[in-house]
Every structure is written in C-alpha cells, then in structure tokens.
C-alpha cells in the first residue's frame, strides 16, 4: 500500500487449541491466521506457526503439537472456571513456545484462552494477543485486564464493538480489523437464477440459525448454509419451527470451494445472537460481490455500509431482515468488492498488525 516496511522479523503465530488448522473447528481464527501468514510474509517477515497436530501446512513451517483439544469458549458460562483436559494441547503448545522463544522476535497468540494471557509476563520475548471474541467469561476478562496492566499495548481486537464488551479496558485494546486473500475470491456481477440466499457459519445457537429459517420462510427464498454442523439439535429445532422454510446444509468448504459456491447468492444473511468480534464471512461474501444483510450487532455493523454494501437491521428483527432481502437489487455488487479491496485485504491487515508488533517490540525493549 506504499508505506515503508519495517525491518524483517521472525514471527511465531500460535493457533487456536480447539482443533487443527483446516478442520473448521477454529472458525474465523483459521481464516485470520491464513491471512496473517500471507500478509506478513509478503511484508518480508519469516512466519512460523504452532498448531495442534493434524493441521494443514501454512507459512514457512507449522510445528505440529500433540495433545487433547481445548473446549471452545462459546460453550462456557461467565462463571465457568479455567479448565484443561488431560494432556492439554494448549499446555504443550506453550511449553514449545517457552523452549523456542529465543528463535523468534515476537510471538502472536490467536487463542482465546486464559493460559497464554497468564504466561505472557513469564516469557522473555514480547507476546501480542489478537483476541478473537468478545467478553464471555469472568476468568478470561480478569486475565485480560491484568495483562493490559502489566504489558500495556499487548492486546488487540478486531472491532470497536468487540472492545466495548470488555468493561474498563476497551480503550486499551488496539483495533486491527481483519483481512483475507482477496485475489482468491471471484466477483459475481449478478446472482444465480433461481435466486437463493446464503448463510456461512457454524451451525450453533449463537449464530442464530433459527432466524435464518425464519427469513427463508418469510421471503420464500431458499437458503444454502455452509459451515460445520456443530449442533444438529439446533438445526432440527429451527426446521421444525419453520416447516415452510427451504434451508439446505451444504457442509464445510475450504476457501476456494466456498468462494465459488457463495458468489451466486443474492445476499448473505448474518443473524448472530452474540456480539461477533468481527464477521469474517461478511468480507468473504462482499469479496465475491455478494451484499450482506446483518443485524446491527457487533463487528458486522462496522463492516457493512448500510445501503451501499448491504443492509443493517435491528438485532433479532426477522421481519426487518426479510424486508431488507427484498431490497438487495439496490446494491451494486462491484461496490461490495471494492470495499474489501480497500480495507480488508491481507496486505492491509498485515500493515496494521506489523505496526502493532513493532510498537510491542519497542515497548518491550524499554521495560
């Protein structure tokens, strides 16, 4: 983007411990990691990854760590204590980081977990934490609050809405947005016929799959849903509640197959019941020229420009969402792609992250 590049760094990225890269279990974190590896490598940095055993290769090297996966934080309550399975992969991953820390200039953690936050002050190299979700758990919030007190500037988030879910420290969290490899997404200038809508995300209650069924029933348009089938009971309940809805589960697809599939959608529905930290699927759809209809909640409300790249409606208002679907022809699909090119490319993300890591390294050297 024409800005001066910082000196080359040796960057170690720690992936999520909830599952191997490529499985889809890690959700948006997997897409973020791929974008960071591509973008930071393009900036001239040497990037290695630590991830659970069975992960796909990405970056200069992926260090495959055996161990039992961590439970996803979405399934915890606010009062759930810090828990580890027997032989936890997250413990083994961070033991590897400790043993090899001096081979790297900075560590970038993508795990939404208490342990990396707690361990940061005990490591000799600077550690940056890109927090992937909003406030979900009291123990996690306390650890993050302690971290920004003892290591100022070491935590970042994807959106301002996400930052504001952390009481008392929102202004101490750096907002970085996100980015994708835009060149991997083909623009579709018109939707396929007969028309259909799309949904991308884990099939789970917090993603609002029941509202997707409700919109399908209200509009009479079929919906194709892509993503990991995490909660079959949730899907079955939504189908039973909306018997006239035509919603088909198309499975979990890798990026190249997904972009080819979603480009023909007339629009993408985003119906989260929680505060989405960002909403990677919004920029994936927009990169294909597909406008997004989303609740005005969390990260998507900062991505979608109402009336230009899609529509924002009040949270949980299915009627308003169905009405917005009827206005999709007002959106210029080329504008959707242009917005992603300008703001959400891997290069744009890498430049923001690179500047943050430089600040982190500089501050670490002065304390």
Which pLDDT band, with edges at 50, 70 and 90, does 1 fall under?
A: very low
Q: pTM of the prediction?
A: 0.86
- For the chain, the domain total comes to 2
- Report pLDDT for 333: 98
What is the CATH number for 286?
A: 3.40.50.2000
Residue 230 shares a structural domain with residue 141 = no
Closest CA to 348 of 182, 195, 203, 198: 182
Give me the domain span that covers residue 88: 10-179+345-366
Residue 255 shares a structural domain with residue 296 = yes
Residue 172 shares a structural domain with residue 247 = no
8: which 2 tokens?
Answer: 């080359």
Q: Classify 287 as helix, strand or coil.
A: helix
Which pLDDT band, with edges at 50, 70 and 90, does 4 fall under?
A: low
Please give the Cα distance from 289 to 284 (Å, whole number): 9
- CB count in 10 Å sphere of residue 346: 24
For residue 124, pLDDT over 70 is answered with yes
Q: Which helix or strand (DSSP H or E) is residue 116 part of?
A: helix 114-119
Mean pLDDT (the chain, rounded): 95
Residue 47 shares a structural domain with residue 191 = no
For residue 349, pLDDT over 80 is answered with yes
Please give the Cα distance from 28 to 278 (Å, whole number): 9
Please give the Cα distance from 209 to 45 (Å, whole number): 40
Which pLDDT band, with edges at 50, 70 and 90, does 152 fall under?
A: very high
Residue 354 shares a structural domain with residue 331 = no
Is residue 90 within 8 Å of residue 324, measured between CB atoms?
no
Residue 137 shares a structural domain with residue 276 = no
For 207-258, write each residue's pLDDT tens digit: 999 999 999 999 999 999 999 898 999 999 999 999 999 999 999 998 899 9
Residue 117 shares a structural domain with residue 211 = no
**For 247, phi and psi rounded to 5 degrees?**
-130, 125
Average pLDDT, integer, range 73-90? 90
For 277-311, write each residue's pLDDT tens digit: 899 999 999 999 999 999 999 999 999 999 999 99
Place of tokens 């509009």: 219
Cis omega (within 30 of 0) for bond into 194: yes
Average pLDDT, integer, range 311-338? 98
């Amino acid at each position: 983007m024409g800005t001066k590049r910082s000196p080359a760094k040796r960057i170690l990225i720690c992936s999520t411990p909830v599952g191997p890269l490529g499985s889809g279990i890690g959700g948006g974190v997997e897409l973020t990691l791929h974008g960071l590896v591509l973008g930071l490598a393009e900036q001239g940095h040497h990037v290695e990854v630590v991830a659970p055993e069975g992960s796909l290769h990405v970056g200069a090297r992926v260090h495959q760590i055996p161990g039992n996966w961590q439970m996803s934080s979405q399934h915890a309550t606010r009062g759930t204590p810090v828990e580890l399975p027997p032989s936890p992969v997250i413990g083994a991953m961070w033991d590897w980081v400790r043993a090899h820390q001096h081979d790297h200039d900075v560590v970038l953690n993508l795990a939404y977990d208490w342990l990396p936050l707690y361990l940061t002050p005990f490591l000799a190299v600077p550690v940056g934490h890109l927090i992937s979700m909003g406030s979900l758990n009291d123990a996690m919030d306390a650890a993050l609050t302690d971290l920004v007190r003892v290591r100022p500037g070491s935590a970042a988030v994807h959106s301002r809405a996400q930052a504001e879910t952390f009481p008392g420290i929102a202004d101490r969290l750096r907002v970085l947005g996100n980015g994708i490899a835009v060149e991997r997404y083909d623009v579709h200038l018109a939707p396929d016929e007969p028309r259909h809508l799309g949904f991308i995300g884990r099939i789970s209650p917090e993603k609002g799959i029941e509202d997707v069924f409700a919109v399908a029933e209200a509009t009479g348009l079929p919906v194709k849903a892509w993503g990991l089938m995490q909660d079959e009971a949730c899907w079955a309940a939504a189908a039973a509640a909306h018997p006239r809805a035509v919603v088909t589960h198309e499975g979990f697809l890798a990026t190249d197959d997904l972009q080819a599939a979603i480009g023909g959608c007339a629009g993408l529905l985003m119906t989260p019941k929680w505060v989405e930290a960002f909403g990677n699927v919004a920029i994936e759809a927009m990169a294909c020229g597909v406008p997004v209809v989303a609740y005005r909640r969390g990260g998507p409300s900062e991505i979608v420009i109402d009336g230009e790249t899609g529509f924002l409606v009040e949270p949980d208002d299915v009627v308003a969402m169905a009405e917005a679907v009827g206005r999709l022809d007002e959106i210029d699909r080329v504008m959707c792609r242009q917005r992603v090119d300008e703001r959400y490319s891997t290069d744009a993300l890498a430049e923001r992250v690179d500047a943050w890591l430089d600040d982190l390294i500089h501050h670490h050297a002065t304390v």
